[in-house]
């Protein structure tokens, strides 16, 4: 027998996100094999009872539905579905519209994060809130979960998407592994305020490290994390990180402070802050400030703000304004150099200040034109100081047609210097004006082709680039911000061999290159091959060292391709025909036959910097649920491992265990060794230290073993 009953009180309140208002106002539908009572006041239901109203369905052996109170009282084999969540129990009382009541000796399953548990009692305190008394919680399937937490009182708030447990013990494989008077955890991926899981690790520089972060979810666009870290050999470090974002601004600041380091007896600190803000349409300012207390900070604290290879900490403040066809900026910048005694670094010049103005138009009656100008005061405590003013107008006329392009271009580089503290007899004012003419041209041929049996479009793209700049003796000009550029395909097609504006290379040269691509019908590039070389018609007289009388540059060869869906290769070669030797080379192959299965092999050689390395890395399943992760960067000249990483991951249905060891160089003669242990309880927390950043940085193609959608 089935009957629809309308309650005497209808709700006029707004609906919660998990339900519809019309569901609450609808009638209750009741059914049972036996029904008695008064339909306008109280209905008594027996055997195979079902009561449905809106998002709530109650099944039981026996129930009483009080119409006026809109209340259900049920007993015997209770089964309830509420907003997608399911409950069982021995006895239930629930006001359907208010969603207030309780169930005794329940089990439960939450739909949102697939969590489950059992308890002495669950009290429902509205649509989103429930209190579990003397209960358990786990995201593992089955009656005997691998991990669960047991709590005297467990508050579940679906509206805030968080749980809060009192007097809690976390059990793993039947053993207690964590106890806390109180702890919070997410019911979804949303951020929440609370204690984050502690991280535990060890390094050879600081010994045992224990961090207990506390996260403040201040607002959807603001948060703050405090992370006190205890170093067994050094003391207690206090750290904080703040992030914020608004309609016209965003930024992040992180600071660390360790008073009275036990190893050095000094106060140690580091700070990093970035900020960008729009003040008005087109007007903005930004800063990027970094600082550390001493040169050895990146050695002793390699996994904090200053990473092991970060030796120059920039400080930059800029004000920018952009118009329709121009922009201007005012900038002040300098660097703090954290010196490595075994490999000292020359401190760069400070810019105090640097004023720039740029303007230009594209396709202005067929012409492209640009003008760059700059006024900079260069300061150095030990070297020559001065101001440099430069202006660099450029104009070109691109002719682009199907199958070919030709771009003639004319530019003029003008600069003036006002120098301080020049030696006696040396001029303190210098000027230079140099024109440059260039012509860039290329052809594009296409044909249908096959690539490993697949239909492709193959291109053949020859390109010629000619540059002429007259010689001007520049030995009297200072070197503020200029260095010789490394040879690359991009540099082959540039007009100046130098980076910076203190040297303008003399040029009477032509670059020849040939590029071929295989392109899928969808437009994806499956393979690219390129070869290029620059030919000199005159001796290169403007250099940062001895003059060069070479007829051609090194030969550059580059190739990249995805040979199959699982195999990709790449290679780059710089070959000196003058010396008949390889100047630089790097080759690599990646094999990724399945998710969470990847092997990488790379070779790198740099004759100029005396570097030759073999790099092998990978992630691979070697047994059921077991994955190995490793990386070895081996220096052939030194016959030793430059960097290394080795670890294991075990993936269960609802947890992951990781152990990873890593060796990272922090200076020319120093290295940090660290060990990471992590137990990840899906949907609850990660306990131990965090190796995931190290795995992603060291193993190209690495994937989380419990990543959704992967087996």
pLDDT band at 7 (very low <50, low <70, confident <90, very high): very low
Q: Which of 54-63, 67-76, 192-201, 324-333 has the lowest mean pLDDT?
A: 192-201
Q: Which helix (H) or strand (E) holds 579?
A: none
Under a CB-based contact definition with an 8 Å cutoff, are residues 285 and 279 in contact? yes
Average per-residue pLDDT in the chain?
A: 88
Q: Is the pLDDT of residue 618 over 50?
A: yes
Three-state DSSP at 155 gives: strand
* pLDDT tens digits for range 553-604: 999 999 999 988 899 999 999 999 888 899 999 999 999 999 999 999 999 9
- In this prediction, residue 190 carries a pLDDT of 67
Whole-number pLDDT of residue 260: 92
Phi, psi of 21, rounded to the nearest 5 degrees: -60, -40
Q: Cα(454)–Cα(416) distance, rounded to whole angstroms?
A: 59
Distance between CA atoms of residues 399 and 64, nearest Å: 86
**pLDDT for residue 107:** 92
Mean per-residue pLDDT, 207-225: 87
What is the pLDDT averaged over residues 293-305?
77
Reference 227, options 689, 693, 698; nearest CA is 689
Q: Which residues share a beta bridge with 57?
A: 52, 81
For the chain, the straight-line distance linking the first and the last C-alpha, in angstroms and rounded, comes to 47
Look at residue 415 and tell me whether its pLDDT is greater than 70: yes
- Looking at residue 30, what is its pLDDT? 87
- Look at residue 16 and tell me whether its pLDDT is greater than 50: no
Neighbours of 545 (CB within 10 A): 6
Question: For residues 373 and 356, is the Cβ–Cβ distance under 8 A?
Answer: yes
**Is residue 171 within 8 Å of residue 147, measured between CB atoms?**
yes
H-helix or E-strand spanning residue 660: strand 655-665
| Between residues 437 and 141, the one the model is more confident about | 437
Q: How many whole angstroms separate alpha carbon 296 and alpha carbon 540?
A: 42
Beta bridge partner(s), residue 466? 439, 510
- Residue 252: pLDDT above 80? yes
Task: Tell me: pLDDT of 303 over 80.
Answer: no
How far CA 630 is from CA of 78, 195, 406, 619, in Å, comes to: 52, 32, 49, 7
**Which ranges constitute the DSSP H helices of 170-317?**
297-300
Residue 686: its pLDDT value, please? 79
Check pLDDT > 70 for residue 10. Answer: no
CA dist., res. 47 & res. 64, Å (int): 12
| 688: pLDDT strictly greater than 80 | no
- Chain-centre distance for alpha carbon 185: 24
Mean pLDDT lowest among 166-175, 320-329, 432-441, 523-532 = 166-175
Mean pLDDT of 396-414: 96
Which whole-number Å values give the CA distances from 521 to 448, 460, 461, 562, in the listed order?
10, 17, 19, 15
User: Which residue would you say has higher pLDDT here, 253 or 216?
Assistant: 253
Helix or strand holding residue 261 (H, E): none
Mean pLDDT of 211-237: 89
Q: Is the pLDDT of residue 201 over 80?
A: no
d(CA 61, CA 46): 6
Length of the chain: 711
Distance CA 340, CA 86 (A): 62
Strand extents, DSSP E, 380-444:
385-396, 399-401, 404-420, 429-443
Please give the Cα distance from 413 to 437 (Å, whole number): 11
Confidence of residue 301 (pLDDT cuts 50, 70, 90): confident
DSSP state of 480: S
Is 304 a residue whose pLDDT tops 60? Answer: no
Condensed to tens digits (0 to 9), the pLDDT of residues 364-399 reads 788 999 999 999 999 999 999 999 999 999 999 999
- Over the Cα atoms of the chain, what is R_g? 35
β-pairing, 611-623 vs 404-420, is unpaired
Residue 648 has pLDDT above 60, yes or no: yes
Smallest CA-to-CA distance from 345 within 289, 298, 387, 305 is with 298
If you average pLDDT over each of 73-82, 162-171, 634-643, which comes out highest?
73-82
Q: What letters, b where the CB count within 10 A reaches 16 and e where it falls short, cover 456-491? A: bebbeeebebbbbbebeebeebbebbbeeeebeeeb
Bridge partners (DSSP) listed for residue 10: none
Report how far residue 201's alpha carbon sits from residue 673's, in angstroms, rounded to the nearest whole number.
11
**Rounded mean pLDDT of 507-521?**
95
502 - beta bridge partners? none
User: Does the pLDDT at position 308 exceed 70?
Assistant: no
What is the number of H-type helices and E-type strands within the chain? Answer: 4, 49
Q: Identify which has the larger pLDDT, 639 or 613.
A: 613
Lowest mean pLDDT among 213-227, 240-254, 410-424, 679-693: 679-693
Residue 339 confidence class, pLDDT cut points 50, 70, 90: confident
Of 119 and 13, more confident: 119
pLDDT attached to residue 41: 85
Within a 13 Å sphere around the CA of 531, how many CA atoms are in the beta-carbon half?
4
Mean pLDDT for the stretch of residues 444-471: 94
Instruction: Tell me how far apart the 2 most distant CA atoms of the chain are, in Å.
Output: 117
Say if residues 437 and 467 touch (Cβ distance below 8 Å): yes
The candidate with the shortest Cα–Cα distance to 279, out of 251, 248, 316, 244, is 248
CB atoms within 10 A of CB 496: 21
Any idea which residue has 């060891």 for tokens?
Answer: 661
């Amino acid at each position: 027998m089935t009957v629809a009953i309308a309650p005497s009180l209808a709700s006029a309140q707004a609906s919660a996100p998990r339900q519809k208002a019309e569901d609450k106002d609808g009638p209750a539908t009741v059914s049972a094999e036996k029904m008695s009572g008064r339909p306008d006041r109280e209905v008594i239901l027996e055997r195979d009872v079902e009561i449905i109203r809106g998002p709530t369905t109650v099944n039981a052996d026996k129930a009483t539905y009080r119409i006026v109170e809109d209340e259900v009282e049920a007993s015997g084999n209770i089964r309830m579905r509420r907003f997608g969540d399911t409950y069982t129990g021995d006895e239930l009382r629930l006001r359907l519209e208010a969603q207030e009541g309780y169930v005794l000796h329940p089990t439960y399953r939450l739909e949102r994060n697939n969590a489950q548990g059992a308890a002495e009692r669950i009290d429902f305190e509205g649509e989103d809130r429930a209190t579990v008394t003397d209960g358990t919680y786990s995201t593992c399937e089955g009656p005997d979960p691998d991990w669960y937490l047991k709590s005297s009182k467990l508050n579940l708030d679906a509206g805030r998407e968080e749980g809060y447990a009192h007097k809690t013990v976390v059990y793993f494989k039947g053993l207690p592994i964590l106890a806390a008077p109180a702890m919070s955890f997410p019911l979804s991926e949303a951020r929440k305020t609370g204690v984050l899981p502690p991280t535990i690790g060890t390094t050879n520089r600081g010994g045992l490290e224990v961090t207990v972060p506390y996260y403040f979810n201040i607002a959807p666009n603001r948060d703050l994390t405090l992370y006190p870290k205890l170093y067994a050999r050094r003391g207690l470090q206090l750290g904080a990180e703040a992030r914020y974002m608004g309609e016209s601004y965003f930024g992040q600041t992180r600071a660390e402070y360790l008073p009275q380091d036990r190893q050095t007896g000094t106060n140690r600190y580091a700070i990093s802050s970035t900020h960008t803000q729009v003040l008005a349409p087109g007007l903005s300012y930004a800063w990027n400030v970094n600082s550390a207390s001493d040169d050895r900070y990146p050695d002793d604290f390699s996994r904090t703000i200053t990473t092991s290879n970060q030796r120059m900490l920039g400080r930059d403040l800029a004000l920018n304004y952009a118009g329709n066809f121009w922009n201007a900026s005012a900038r002040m910048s300098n660097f703090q150099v954290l010196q490595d005694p075994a490999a000292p670094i020359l401190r760069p010049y400070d810019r105090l200040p640097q004023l720039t103005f740029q303007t230009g138009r594209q396709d202005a009656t067929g012409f492209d034109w640009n003008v760059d100008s700059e006024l900079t005061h260069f300061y150095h405590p030990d070297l020559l100081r001065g101001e440099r003013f430069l202006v660099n107008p450029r104009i070109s006329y691109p002719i682009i047609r199907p199958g070919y392009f030709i771009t003639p271009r004319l530019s003029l580089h003008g600069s003036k210097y006002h120098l301080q503290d020049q030696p006696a007899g040396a001029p303190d004012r210098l000027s230079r004006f140099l024109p440059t003419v260039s012509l860039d041209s290329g052809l594009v041929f296409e044909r249908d082709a096959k690539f490993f049996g697949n239909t492709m479009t193959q291109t053949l793209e020859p390109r010629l680039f000619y540059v002429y700049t007259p010689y001007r003796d520049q030995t009297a000009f200072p070197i503020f911000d200029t260095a010789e550029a490394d040879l690359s395909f991009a540099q082959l097609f540039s007009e100046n061999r130098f980076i910076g504006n203190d040297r303008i290379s003399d040029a009477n040269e032509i670059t020849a290159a040939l590029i071929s691509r295989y392109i899928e019908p969808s437009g994806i590039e499956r393979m690219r091959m390129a070869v290029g070389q620059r030919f000199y018609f005159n001796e290169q007289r403007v250099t940062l060292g001895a003059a060069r009388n070479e007829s051609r540059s090194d030969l550059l060869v580059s190739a990249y391709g995805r040979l199959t869906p699982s195999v990709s290769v790449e290679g780059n070669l710089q070959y000196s025909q003058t010396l008949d030797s390889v100047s630089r080379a790097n080759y690599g192959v990646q094999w990724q036959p399945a998710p969470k299965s990847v092997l990488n092999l790379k070779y790198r050689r740099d004759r100029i910097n005396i570097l030759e390395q073999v790099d092998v890395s990978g992630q691979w399943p070697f047994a059921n649920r077991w994955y190995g992760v490793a990386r070895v960067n081996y220096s052939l000249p030194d016959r030793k491992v430059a960097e290394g990483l080795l670890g294991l991951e075990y993936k269960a249905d609802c947890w992951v265990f990781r152990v990873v060891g890593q060796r990272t160089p922090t200076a020319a003669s120093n290295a940090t060794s660290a060990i990471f242990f992590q137990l990840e309880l899906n949907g609850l927390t990660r306990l131990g230290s965090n190796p995931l950043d190290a795995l992603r940085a060291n193993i190209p193609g690495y994937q989380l073993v419990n990543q959704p959608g992967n087996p």
